[in-house]
């Protein structure tokens, strides 16, 4: 039996299903959670299906997480989407569930769950969810609402169809979702709106980023700066790709101070950076990874390590 057939068997078997995503959910995580909920609820209306975890202010229109008691998890199936490692799951109560399935597209960091369906080559986890639906249309249903969630997931995690992991199947998925009634202009408009404060903050990033001679561009954003612009942490962290275009700078990062951690958002259009992220308590994809600094004392070492990755790449392509 294929893994997908086994996943469907489990979905049919359980009356209560909880869907978990990662901390600080992004468009793909939310898109998977609400898209999958829609597929299960539309196909099996008698089941109780809950999306749990943190709110994502970036794509609020996809839905709102459910608030449920611990009791609900007992005897339930938990499906965890878009998350490589157990500790990054935003509602840890999947540990109370009877059976746990992981569906993901990240390079695995630590394994968790009773069953794993991980396709690292897929540009978005929402594409995996769509393909599960598409290949089992004889028994699964989706509504326009679910299609919007999955399309938003694919759109956001591919940088609007620009990243190198985009494959023909990505456009096929998008085309089929479009045929289900997705309004692509509306979604693009919603994702493109920016407040005046965020625009001004972008000016700060562009005026204050640093470049190392080896080819690493980065910006450090501390709490006082975020507060002075009156923007959310999410909006502050989202601007990493402002540094993506500089010739000779294939690696870039936004290093941002959260109340309880220093988060690194690391990006590349050349060398793989997931191994570097692993060295700093993180992971992700080859060209888009996240990591942490234990303290600001580690910053210089991280800059040196990232510069080395950029340098080796720049020398190799000379």
Interface with ligand AMP (CB under 6 A): 22, 84-85, 88, 106, 109, 265, 282-285, 288-291
Please report how close the Cβ of residue 270 comes to ligand AMP at its closest, in angstroms. Answer: 16
Nearer to ligand AMP, 107 or 147 (CB): 107
Q: How many of the other CB atoms lie within 10 Å of CB of 86?
A: 17
The DSSP code for 254 is E
Nearer to ligand AMP, 20 or 285 (CB): 285
Nearer to ligand AMP, 93 or 285 (CB): 285
Please report how close the Cβ of residue 282 comes to ligand AMP at its closest, in angstroms. Answer: 4
C-alpha–C-alpha distance, residues 304 and 127, integer Å: 36
C-alpha–C-alpha distance, residues 272 and 119, integer Å: 18
Please report how close the Cβ of residue 272 comes to ligand AMP at its closest, in angstroms. Answer: 12
Nearer to ligand AMP, 16 or 250 (CB): 250
C-alpha–C-alpha distance, residues 171 and 161, integer Å: 8
Please report how close the Cβ of residue 285 comes to ligand AMP at its closest, in angstroms. Answer: 6
Nearer to ligand AMP, 31 or 283 (CB): 283
Here the tokens at position 198 are 């965020």
Strand locations in 140-298 (E): 210-211, 216-221, 251-257, 262-268, 283-284, 288-293
C-alpha–C-alpha distance, residues 34 and 1, integer Å: 27
Please report how close the Cβ of residue 127 comes to ligand AMP at its closest, in angstroms. Answer: 14
Residue position matching structure tokens 């234990």: 294
């Amino acid at each position: 039996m294929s893994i997908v057939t086994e996943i469907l068997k489990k979905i049919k078997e359980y009356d209560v299903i909880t869907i978990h995503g990662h901390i600080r959910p992004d468009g793909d995580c939310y898109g998977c959670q609400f898209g999958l909920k829609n597929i299960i609820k539309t196909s099996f209306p008698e089941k109780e299906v809950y999306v749990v975890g943190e709110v994502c202010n970036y794509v609020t229109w996809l839905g709102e997480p459910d608030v449920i008691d611990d009791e609900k998890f007992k005897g339930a199936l938990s499906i965890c989407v878009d998350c490589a490692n157990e500790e990054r799951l935003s509602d840890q109560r999947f540990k109370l569930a009877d059976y746990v399935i992981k569906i993901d597209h990240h390079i695995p960091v630590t394994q968790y769950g009773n069953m794993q369906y991980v396709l690292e080559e897929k540009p978005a986890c929402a594409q995996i969810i769509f393909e599960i639906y598409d290949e089992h249309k004889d028994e699964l249903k989706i509504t326009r609402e679910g299609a919007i969630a999955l399309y938003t997931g694919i759109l956001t995690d591919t940088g609007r169809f620009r990243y190198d992991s985009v494959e023909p199947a990505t456009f096929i998925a998008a085309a089929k979702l479009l045929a289900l009634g997705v309004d692509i202009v509306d979604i693009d408009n919603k994702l493109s709106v920016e407040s005046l404060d965020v625009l001004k903050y972008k000016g700060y990033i562009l005026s204050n980023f640093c470049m190392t001679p080896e080819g690493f561009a980065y910006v450090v954003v501390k709490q006082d700066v975020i507060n002075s612009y009156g923007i959310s942490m999410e909006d502050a962290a989202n601007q990493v790709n402002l540094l993506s275009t500089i010739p000779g700078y294939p690696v870039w990062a936004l290093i941002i101070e959260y109340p309880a951690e220093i988060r690194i958002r690391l990006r590349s259009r050349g060398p793989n950076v997931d191994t570097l992220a692993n060295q700093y308590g993180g992971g992700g994809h080859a060209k888009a990874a996240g990591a942490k600094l234990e303290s600001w004392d580690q910053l210089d070492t991280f800059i040196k390590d990232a510069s080395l990755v950029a340098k080796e790449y720049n020398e190799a392509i000379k």
